[in-house]
Amino acid sequence: MDCIFCKIVEGSIPSKKVFENDHVLAFHDISPAAPVHILIIPKKHIATMNDVEPDDFGLIGEVHRAAQQIAREQGVAESGYRLINNCNRNGGQVVYHIHYHLLAGEQLGPLNAK
Ligand code: AMP
Ligand code: ZN
């Protein structure tokens, strides 16, 4: 499958990993939008939020569990962070393997700044 994040999961494309278990992988975004910008993905290929099926909700919970741990380990849990999923064109999704952006390390702008 021609999916860049599946290739990162397989290891055929390198990444700077910050977290990995059997189901979830997290790595630094190649083009950071904040001092801390980490992408958290399920290893399973799910294209978008719209494609999450009932059996996947436990897996999405695992992604959230990883986000919580990563925020602690990055030292930003208390100062705060933003966890973002972009879905489809208007959401700004570019990579069609579901992922959450964990952004932190500075005061982030208001959501209505777009
Ligand atoms: P989105 O617009 O939500 O689909 O976000 C895709 C993100 O993936 C962007 O922030 C890109 O900078 C990031 N990205 C693309 N290719 C790579 C890569 N090889 N390693 C790390 N991050 C990547
Ligand atoms: Zn994929």
Q: Which three-class secondary structure state does DSSP give residue 84? A: strand
Residue ranges per structural domain of the chain: 4-104
In this structure, which ligand is nearest to the CA of 14?
A: 1
Query: 4-104 has which CATH code?
Result: 3.30.428.10
Find out whether 76 and 105 touch, Cβ atoms under 8 Å. Answer: yes
- Go through 25-45 and write b for each residue having 16 or more CB atoms within 10 A of its CB, e for each that does not: bbbebeeeebebbbbbbbbee
CB atoms within 10 A of CB 104: 21
Atom of ligand 1 nearest to the CA of 93: 4
In this structure, which residues have their CB less than 5 angstroms from ion ligand 2? 3, 5-6, 45, 97
Q: Ligand 2 centroid vs 113 CA: distance in angstroms?
A: 30
Q: Is the CB of 31 under 6 A from ligand 1?
A: yes
Q: Which range (2-6, 17-21, 56-60, 108-112) has the least confidence?
A: 108-112
| Statement: the pTM of the whole predicted model exceeds 0.85 | yes
pLDDT digits (tens, 9 = 90+) for 67-108: 999 999 999 999 999 999 999 999 999 999 999 999 999 999
Q: Could you tell me if residue 66 is left (phi over 0), alpha (psi between -120 and 50 degrees) or otherwise beta?
A: alpha
